[in-house]
Amino acid sequence: MAIGLSAVFLLLGACTPPAFLVLPATATSTYSAGETMAARQGTQTLATPTPDMALVCSEAPALCTPEPSPSPTPTITPTATITPTPSFTPTPTLTPTPPPTSTPCPPDVLCPPTPVPTPAVLSQTENILVLGTDLREGEDMSWRTDTMFLVAVDWQQNRVGVLSFPRDLWVEVPRFDHKRLNQVDFLGEYFEYPGGGFSLLADTFSQNFGIRIDHFVRLHRSGFVDIVDALGGVDVTLDCDLWELTTVNNADGEQKYQVLYLSAGSHHFDGEQALRFTTYRYVTGDWDRARRQQVFLLALRDQMISAGTVRRIPQLWQALNKYFTTDLGILDIIKLGRLAASISTDDVRAHVIGKYETEPLVLHSGAEVLVSEGDRLYEAIRQLFDSEPIRTLAQRPQGCPTPPAWSQNYLTPTPTPTPAS
């Protein structure tokens, strides 16, 4: 086996080199040809006498006893070499390698994206992402997309699915690590992602949910108000009283709460009232706000049919297209308007991704976001067309919620002081 140079240096460096041994020179003597050691030492060489063997044998007979002849050594016949039978080597048992398991990506850490398969139910639909932003006139140009729902149009089976996504959902965003879902549109626009915010949202939905986004519609707050007013308002029917709050700044810049109270029954909303109905959330939370947005969407559809708005789409397009941004063309809008007018509301299925499909996650920064509760979020996507009809979202079969404690003080009229006589 060859050893690399680095390994050789490592081995040499790990050993202490032995000290060099200095040996003494060997003492040598030189003799001339024919000279003996005895001559050099100055001694005399004596002749050796020949012994009298008869006298020796008479004095020591044992020395003259002939030695017995040695017994012949037997010839050894070589034994045949036996080839050993190879011993049985047991085949080692192979331990099966378990399939790789996905490791959840920790929060605030950049992890490689894990592709999500496309749900079969949405592979043949036309998928339109509707966005509502909180951009306000006179403020900085940053915004969050706090309203986001998918409209999946199944042209073959003449049905529509509406799925609302929570704003605080923690998702993998290409080039931006993990972010809240409501930040993606702004990031794509501000940092000039190829194709802008729409394109970044499309890549994010594909990467996290396996959903192909075909078209987009983006509405800012002021545009929403103007469109509702241009349509002459929208009628909404509530089966329960609605109590809601939001924060506003007064003229002095002081923050205070603003109350929204709507009694059960029918209401006609203008643009500002519709905006409050679809955005306030401090009492009922994000889940009920998303439910109310879908209720309003159904009411808007009913209003357009009753007012014959579908026939006026070309005129409305010219008057209102400055209030929204979309990659849909006028012919696309007309086609969708005709479908909305002809389809039964039983064939419009709707769902809000809420507490059942998500769980809270606290980041290292202390911020709280939402992640999928196991596989429930993806199961909700796969079962979109098995959801309840959209009209049932306006109903509360479990009963109306309890009014907040401060509601009685709000409804109690303030007594008018009696003028002094």
Q: State the pLDDT confidence band at 72, using cuts at 50, 70 and 90.
A: low
171-180 long-range Cβ contacts below 8 angstroms, 24+ apart: 171/204, 171/207, 171/208, 172/105, 172/111, 172/113, 172/204, 172/207, 172/208, 173/200, 173/204, 174/113, 174/200, 174/203, 174/204, 174/207, 177/108, 177/109, 177/110, 178/105, 178/107, 178/108, 178/109, 180/369
Question: For 173-195, what is each residue's pLDDT tens digit?
Answer: 999 999 999 999 999 999 999 99
More confident residue, 148 or 409: 148
Indicate the pTM of the whole model: 0.70
Question: For 82-121, what is each residue's pLDDT tens digit?
Answer: 444 545 455 444 444 444 334 445 555 445 456 678 888 9
Which of 10-14, 49-53, 85-89, 408-412 is the most confident on average?
A: 408-412
DSSP state of 138: T
Mean pLDDT of 198-214: 96
Mean pLDDT of 218-231: 88
Q: State the pLDDT confidence band at 8, using cuts at 50, 70 and 90.
A: very low
Query: β-strand 159-164 against 170-173: which pairing, if any?
Result: unpaired
Which region, left, alpha or beta, applies to residue 200 given φ > 0 means left and ψ of -120 to 50 means alpha? alpha
User: Is a pLDDT exceeding 70 seen at residue 299?
Assistant: yes
User: Is a pLDDT exceeding 70 seen at residue 399?
Assistant: yes
What does the DSSP assignment read for 230-293?
HTT-EEEEESS-EEEEEEEE-TTS-EEEEEEEE-SEEEEE-HHHHHHHHH--TTTHHHHHHHHH
Question: For 127-145, what is each residue's pLDDT tens digit?
Answer: 999 999 887 655 557 789 9
CATH 3.30.420.590 is right for the domain spanning 120-221+308-404: yes
User: Is a pLDDT exceeding 70 seen at residue 39?
Assistant: no
User: Is a pLDDT exceeding 80 seen at residue 65?
Assistant: no
Give which of 132, 112, 186, 122 is closest to 153, Cα–Cα.
122
More confident residue, 119 or 42: 119
Q: State the pLDDT confidence band at 2, using cuts at 50, 70 and 90.
A: very low
Mean pLDDT of 383-407: 87
Domain segments of the chain as ranges: 120-221+308-404
Mean pLDDT of 262-280: 95
